[in-house]
């Protein structure tokens, strides 16, 4: 209750300790029912001297689905003041599978990172420095299904110390084992001779163990060989940034930076934002699913979660976006979910049921998945909303032809050498054009590929019973019932033509889209046959940018102050917001929204390393 909340905050020296700081980060060894996070969030909101950003990183031993989380919350003591905060938390606590999960509140200024799994392994895959650490009692909360854990041995305590800075406060609850406290001292925590705060009236004495990270040796700072200009614990002060490109990637990067105090100029050669591939009239948002739950699958779930959090706040439900679910028809393929797809996984994806298959006009035994956290979004609306964040200045008709380094920073030049903007750092997010800017600025040309896509669309005729009430994808897609102009429209496609930048529409691509639809959704294809045959179908054409492994390129280049955020491919809605947050977290030494091992898979130098590791075919 309130006394517990106050005692927790005071044990960490809050709110005084975070006063006027740019950010504050708390690491909690147990999520429990989220009550300590809620207490910190409540205190942050009510404090006029609060930090700009509050990070709360909580460890969790159990795989949690929405229903399991609800049972845990019900079992916790209620605090009326925290009830509205708990409701907001409840809405985001779904699908907590092993790994990291970023939950966003207060317009992106209060960030909860839930780390599910064995503490030692998770701590070794984290990259940040906590300002305060709280070690909770080693008890199993109601509703948890604990994973196998080795609790707080010396190696786990050492991994914990790597997530601390000199001066980090540590508080351990009374049940923390004496052996664990000894390990903490061995890795650099100095015990505080003072007692914890006095117990509340009528409560038993609660003697917490207080310490501070102050090792007698100089802690080693981890550096990344892949990204030499990003120290693991770097914290770049906010300044001015130029973002080149006003699509999803550029808008998301700009929005993440201004939330942290940057001033951002967004330059684009077009007259309006989202003029390239992000101008798609309606796009699909859905996680990737694979039997091995590989890199793309895990990245996509993190990206979908963050994008949904943004759209709920920024866009109009039913007009700009709709989370209605999505059926994935795996034509010619079997339904492949991970072997240990727990209840938390079914918050994301499960086998389609007979009703959903019938609504799509498919046979009862059709191989299909149902994605719950999915739907359609109008990308241009999301771009516009992101660029409306205070601190972002949009500059259209500003084609950047070259980047020139300054003594401290960069300047963007047009084809005539005119300075378009100057800044402390530059983020290149210009799709396929990023290749040429990077080649000129760094002397290396990243392996990017242009992929042309043509989508077919038309208006729904009154009463169209042959269409499913939700989007369907697979080999192609159909997105029905999207508000468009004065009516509603359907969208089908899209072609996938490599190394093609022509944006003129092609009749043969309409034919190809219809042929794909005949396999994906035969009933809907029959309904649309006349539309295609009569030539009434309209086209939208865009050029995507992809990398060889179909993952984004994100991170610093070999030139200080020059970053890249591009190659979203066909998954801009899934990846852009995640990439923007990851860029900002790297830049400021914040907790990453995903595991460090996943984040490193996106670094732009990964293809240089692969090329260097291959033997010279000439034998020289």
Q: What is the DSSP string of 277-303?
A: GGG-SSEEE-----TT--HHHHHHHHH
Identify the pLDDT of residue 72. 85
Give the pair of three-digit tokens for residue 306.
């963050």
With cut-offs at 50, 70 and 90, classify the pLDDT of residue 466.
confident
CATH superfamily of 228-276+381-444+551-607: FAD/NAD(P)-binding domain (3.50.50.60)
For residues 166, 171, 172 and 173, what is the CA-based torsion angle, rounded to 10 degrees?
180
Distance (Å, whole) CA 137 – CA 146 = 15
Ranking 38-47, 231-240, 535-544 by mean pLDDT, the lowest is: 231-240
At 130 the three-state DSSP class reads: strand
Ranking 220-229, 387-396, 558-567 by mean pLDDT, the lowest is: 220-229
506, exposed or middle or buried, with CB in 10 Å at 0-12, 13-18, 19+?
A: middle
Average pLDDT taken over every residue of the chain: 90
Q: How many helices (H) and strands (E) does the chain have?
A: 18, 29
Instruction: List strand residue ranges (DSSP E) for 174-226, in order.
Output: 189-191, 209-213
Identify the pLDDT of residue 199. 41
Q: What is the CA radius of gyration of the chain?
A: 26
Ranking 73-82, 406-415, 524-533, 578-587 by mean pLDDT, the lowest is: 73-82
Asked if residue 401 has pLDDT above 50, the reply is: yes
**Higher confidence at residue 175 or residue 577?**
577
Asked if residue 195 has pLDDT above 70, the reply is: no
Identify the pLDDT of residue 73. 78
Distance (Å, whole) CA 152 – CA 119 = 8
Identify the pLDDT of residue 461. 80
Spell out the alpha helix ranges (H) of 232-283.
248-258
Asked if residue 88 has pLDDT above 60, the reply is: yes
Identify the pLDDT of residue 232. 52
With cut-offs at 50, 70 and 90, classify the pLDDT of residue 77.
low
**Higher confidence at residue 77 or residue 369?**
369
CB 326, CB 356: distance < 8 Å: no
Identify the pLDDT of residue 319. 98
H/E run at residue 15? none
Domain locations in the chain as residue ranges? 1-213, 228-276+381-444+551-607, 449-546
**Higher confidence at residue 611 or residue 509?**
509
Average pLDDT over residues 20-45: 96
With cut-offs at 50, 70 and 90, classify the pLDDT of residue 389.
very high
In this structure, is the dihedral angle defined by the CA atoms of residues 162, 165, 167 and 169, taken in order, positive or negative?
negative
At 529 the three-state DSSP class reads: helix
In this structure, is the dihedral angle defined by the CA atoms of residues 510, 513, 519 and 525, taken in order, positive or negative?
negative
Identify the pLDDT of residue 186. 93
Identify the pLDDT of residue 173. 84
Asked if residue 205 has pLDDT above 50, the reply is: no
With cut-offs at 50, 70 and 90, classify the pLDDT of residue 3.
confident
CB 379, CB 274: distance < 8 Å: yes
Asked if residue 488 has pLDDT above 90, the reply is: yes
Identify the pLDDT of residue 291. 92
H/E run at residue 242? strand 240-244
Identify the pLDDT of residue 531. 93
Identify the pLDDT of residue 206. 52
Asked if residue 148 has pLDDT above 50, the reply is: no
With cut-offs at 50, 70 and 90, classify the pLDDT of residue 612.
very low
* CATH top-level class of 449-546: alpha beta
260, exposed or middle or buried, with CB in 10 Å at 0-12, 13-18, 19+?
A: buried
Please list, residue by residue across 484-500, b when 16 or more beta carbons sit within 10 angstroms of its beta carbon and e when fewer do: beeeebbbbbbbebeee
* Full DSSP string of 349-414: EEE--HHHHHHTT--TT--EEEESS-EEE-HHHHHHHHHTSTTEEEE-S----EEEEETTEEEEE-
Distance (Å, whole) CA 582 – CA 177 = 36
CB 458, CB 490: distance < 8 Å: yes
Identify the pLDDT of residue 70. 87
The structure tokens 């309904």 sit at 527
Asked if residue 234 has pLDDT above 90, the reply is: no
Cα–chain-centroid distance for residue 197? 38
Distance (Å, whole) CA 254 – CA 584 = 9
Identify the pLDDT of residue 167. 96
Identify the pLDDT of residue 294. 95
CB 122, CB 68: distance < 8 Å: no
Ranking 368-372, 534-538, 590-594, 609-613 by mean pLDDT, the lowest is: 609-613
Length of the chain: 620
At 146 the three-state DSSP class reads: strand
CA distances (Å), 20 to each of 23, 41, 51, in order?
9, 16, 5
Distance (Å, whole) CA 279 – CA 393 = 20
Give the pair of three-digit tokens for residue 204.
């038993």
Identify the pLDDT of residue 230. 53
Please list, residue by residue across 524-537, b when 16 or more beta carbons sit within 10 angstroms of its beta carbon and e when fewer do: bbebbeebbeeeeb
Distance (Å, whole) CA 321 – CA 139 = 42
Instruction: List strand residue ranges (DSSP E) for 514-571, in order.
Output: 538-546, 553-556, 562-566
**Higher confidence at residue 62 or residue 13?**
13
With cut-offs at 50, 70 and 90, classify the pLDDT of residue 149.
very low
State pLDDT tens for residues 294-316: 999 999 999 999 999 999 999 99
Query: CA nearest 578: which of 562, 595, 558?
Result: 595
Distance (Å, whole) CA 500 – CA 508 = 15
The third-level CATH classification (topology) of the domain covering 1-213 is Rossmann fold (3.40.50)
Asked if residue 130 has pLDDT above 70, the reply is: yes
Asked if residue 337 has pLDDT above 80, the reply is: yes
Identify the pLDDT of residue 145. 42
List beta partners, residue 209.
172
Distance (Å, whole) CA 286 – CA 156 = 36
Average pLDDT over residues 445-466: 89
């Amino acid at each position: 209750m309130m006394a517990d909340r106050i005692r927790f905050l005071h044990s960490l020296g809050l709110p005084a300790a975070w006063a006027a700081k740019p950010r504050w980060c708390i690491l909690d060894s147990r999520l429990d029912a989220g009550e300590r996070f809620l207490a910190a969030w409540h205190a942050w909101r009510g404090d006029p001297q609060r930090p700009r950003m509050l990070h709360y990183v909580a460890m969790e031993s159990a795989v949690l689905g929405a229903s399991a989380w609800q049972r845990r919350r019900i079992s916790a003591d209620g605090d009326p003041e925290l009830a509205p905060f708990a409701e907001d938390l409840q809405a985001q606590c779904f699908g907590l599978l092993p790994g990291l999960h970023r939950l966003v509140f207060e317009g992106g200024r209060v960030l909860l990172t839930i780390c599910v799994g064995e503490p030692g392994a998770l701590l070794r895959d984290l990259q940040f420095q906590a300002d305060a650490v709280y070690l909770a009692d080693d008890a199993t909360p109601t509703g948890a299904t604990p994973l196998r854990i080795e609790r707080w041995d010396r190696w786990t305590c050492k991994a914990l110390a790597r997530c601390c800075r000199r001066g980090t406060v540590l508080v351990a609850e009374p049940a923390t084992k004496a052996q664990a406290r000894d390990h903490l001292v061995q890795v650099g925590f100095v015990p505080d001779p003072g007692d914890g705060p006095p117990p509340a009236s009528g409560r038993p004495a609660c003697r917490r163990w207080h310490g501070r990270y102050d090792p007698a040796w100089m802690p080693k700072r981890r550096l990344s060989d892949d990204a030499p200009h990003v120290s693991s614990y770097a914290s770049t002060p906010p300044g001015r940034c130029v973002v080149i490109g006003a699509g999803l990637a550029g808008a998301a990067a700009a929005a993440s930076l201004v939330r942290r105090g940057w001033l951002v100029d967004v330059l684009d050669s077009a007259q309006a934002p989202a003029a390239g591939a992000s101008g798609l009239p309606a796009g699909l948002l859905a996680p990737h699913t694979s039997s091995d739950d590989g890199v793309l699958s895990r990245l996509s779930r993190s990206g979908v979660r963050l994008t949904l959090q943004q759209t709920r706040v920024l866009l109009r439900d039913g007009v700009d976006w709709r989370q209605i679910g999505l059926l994935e028809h795996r034509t010619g393929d079997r339904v492949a979910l991970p072997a240990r797809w727990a209840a938390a996984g079914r918050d994301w994806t499960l086998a389609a049921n007979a009703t959903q298959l019938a609504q799509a006009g498919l046979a009862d035994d059709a191989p299909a998945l149902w994605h719950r956290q999915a739907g359609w979004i109008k990308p241009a609306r999301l771009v516009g909303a992101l660029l409306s964040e205070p601190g972002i200045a949009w500059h259209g008709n500003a084609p950047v032809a070259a980047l020139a380094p300054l003594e401290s920073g960069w300047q963007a030049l047009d084809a005539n050498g005119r300075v378009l903007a100057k800044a402390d750092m530059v983020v290149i997010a210009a799709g396929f054009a990023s290749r040429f800017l990077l080649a000129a600025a760094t002397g290396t040309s990243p392996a990017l590929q242009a992929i042309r896509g043509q989508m077919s669309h038309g208006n729904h005729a009154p009463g169209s019973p042959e269409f499913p009430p939700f989007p369907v994808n697979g080999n192609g897609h159909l997105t029905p019932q999207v508000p468009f102009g004065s009516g509603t429209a359907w969208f089908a496609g899209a072609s996938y033509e490599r190394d093609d930048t022509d944006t003129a529409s092609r009749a043969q691509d309409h034919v190809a889209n219809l042929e794909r639809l005949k396999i994906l959704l035969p009933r809907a294809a029959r309904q649309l046959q006349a539309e295609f045959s009569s030539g009434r179908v309209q086209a939208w054409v865009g050029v995507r940018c992809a990398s060889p492994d179909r993952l984004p390129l994100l991170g610093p280049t070999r030139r200080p102050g020059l970053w890249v955020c591009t190659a979203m491919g066909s998954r801009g809605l899934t990846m852009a917001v995640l990439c923007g947050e990851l860029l900002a977290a790297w830049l400021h030494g914040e907790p990453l929204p995903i595991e460090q091992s996943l984040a490193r898979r996106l670094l732009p130098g990964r293809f240089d390393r692969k090329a260097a590791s291959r033997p010279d075919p000439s034998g020289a």
